[in-house]
Amino acid sequence: MQVILISVGVLFLAGILGYMYYLGVFISIKIELKELPAHTLFYRIDVGDYDELDETYFEEFEAIQFGNYDADIVSIGFYFDNEQWVKDKTDSRYLVGFFASNITDKQNITKVMELNDLKKMREITPVPALVVEFPWRNWLSDYIGPMKIGGPIFNEFARLYPNLCLEGKEFPLIEIYEESKTVYAIPVGNGREQYLFDDEIAKTPELTEKGIKEMKQYIEKCKEFAEKA
């Protein structure tokens, strides 16, 4: 009986570890410098709890994502705050919408976006960015990805581009939701200002004491890298 229980326990543990591997929990993080291609950004900016946004956002835009248009579109989310630092998560700032490229009927797709409350539009030229790809398996990937990617990509940003880090510009962590993966990106090269929305987003929300402390630590890290550069 004891042998059977042990065997069941081992199989159960192996199943859990296998599922975690499938979700990408143990995947190695590979940060690369790539070019974000030219596209038209249709978007809206708001504030709210990121966890609640995931559910409502995908329900709202699913019909657009899989619609039949004369364009290639992919849904995106820009996140301007670290929710672990924000005192009230409902004050967290975000941008949602779509990247559209290879557009042959601009009037039609613009009308579709406006009908879905994506009334703002911005033409984006190619921009170099730090990029990490993470496999999308199911809704759990939307939580595991940012937790696993966030620290490494921002640390690499501080190491490679400390002067950008110290500019105080609020570059978002961009999430691009492709069919089988999520691409996380931070613009870093010429043209990165196209991804700045300082004049449109709300002011930085109030932070917790832990958030203030960790932000100061991050800025100090940027200063150390800048001095070594």
Position 40 scores a pLDDT of 92
Position 65 scores a pLDDT of 62
Position 55 scores a pLDDT of 60
Position 164 scores a pLDDT of 84
pLDDT in tens for each of the 229 residues of the chain?
665 655 555 555 656 555 555 555 567 789 999 999 999 999 999 999 987 776 666 666 666 665 666 678 888 989 899 888 999 999 999 998 889 888 888 888 888 888 778 889 999 999 999 999 988 766 676 777 778 888 889 889 989 888 888 876 666 889 998 888 889 999 988 888 898 888 888 888 999 999 999 989 989 999 998 888 7
The Cα–Cα gap between 212 and 108 comes to: 46
The Cα–Cα gap between 41 and 99 comes to: 5
CA 189 to chain centre: 18
**Sign of the Cα pseudo-torsion (167, 172, 173, 174, in order):** negative
Q: pTM for the complete prediction?
A: 0.84
Position 10 scores a pLDDT of 53
Residues 6+ apart with CB under 8 A from 71: 100, 101, 102, 103, 104, 105, 109
